[in-house]
Each structure stands twice: as C-alpha cells, then as structure tokens.
C-alpha cells in the first residue's frame, strides 16, 4: 500500500511494508525497543525508498538529510504507520472456534 506525505509542498510516496521492516531488522534495530527513535527514523527512510520504488519515482532526498524530513513529517508518518499496523491486525487469522 502506497500512501503520500507532504514535504515542502511536494507529495512523497511512502510505503510502510514488510521489506522496510526487514531492512531495519538487518540493521539490528527493532520497533519495540525502549528507545526506538533510530528504528523509527530508519523505517521512515526505508518506507520512502519503497514508496518511490513502487511509484517508479526517483527519491530526491539524500539519506544524510532524512532526520530533517522525518522531523517535519513525523505526524504524517505516524498515521501511515498506524494504517500499516492496523492492516496487519485485520489480516491475521482468527483461531477456529470449537
């Protein structure tokens, strides 16, 4: 699922997905950690990369500037992340009743 966030009057495609989660795990980070600011920042980056990939657009933001963009777009990203997590909860199979 690709959503869009706005930064400097430009709509940026973003996709929080399992690939983005796998990337932060490869970096040794996890969202459930006590101090997960770095994990959230890295998830934001990988989600932007994925969104641009799916929309076949070049990502113009440099990785070294991502913390500035993250700070400006945090509330928008939080909404996108919430949508992703909610979609995971609705797709889980419910246990069969006996």
8-27: pLDDT as tens digits:
999 999 999 999 999 999 99
What pTM did the predictor assign? 0.86
Specify whether the backbone of 59 is left (phi greater than 0), alpha (psi in -120 to 50) or beta. beta
Q: Locate 86 and state its tokens.
A: 């909610």
More confident residue, 93 or 65: 65
Residues 15, 2: contact at Cβ < 8 Å? Answer: yes
- State the first-to-last Cα distance of the chain, in angstroms, to the nearest integer: 35
Question: Does the pLDDT at position 59 exceed 60?
Answer: yes
What span, in angstroms and rounded, lies between the C-alpha atoms of 49 and 33?
23
What span, in angstroms and rounded, lies between the C-alpha atoms of 36 and 80?
17
């Amino acid at each position: 699922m690709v959503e869009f966030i706005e930064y400097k009057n430009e709509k940026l495609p973003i996709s929080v997905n399992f690939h983005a989660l796998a990337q932060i795990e490869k970096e040794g980070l996890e969202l459930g950690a006590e101090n997960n600011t770095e994990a959230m920042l890295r998830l934001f980056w990988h989600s932007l990369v994925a969104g641009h990939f799916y929309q076949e657009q070049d990502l113009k933001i440099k990785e070294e500037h991502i913390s500035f963009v993250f700070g400006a777009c945090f509330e928008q990203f939080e909404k996108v992340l919430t949508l992703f997590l909610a979609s995971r909860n609705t797709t889980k199979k419910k246990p069969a009743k006996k």
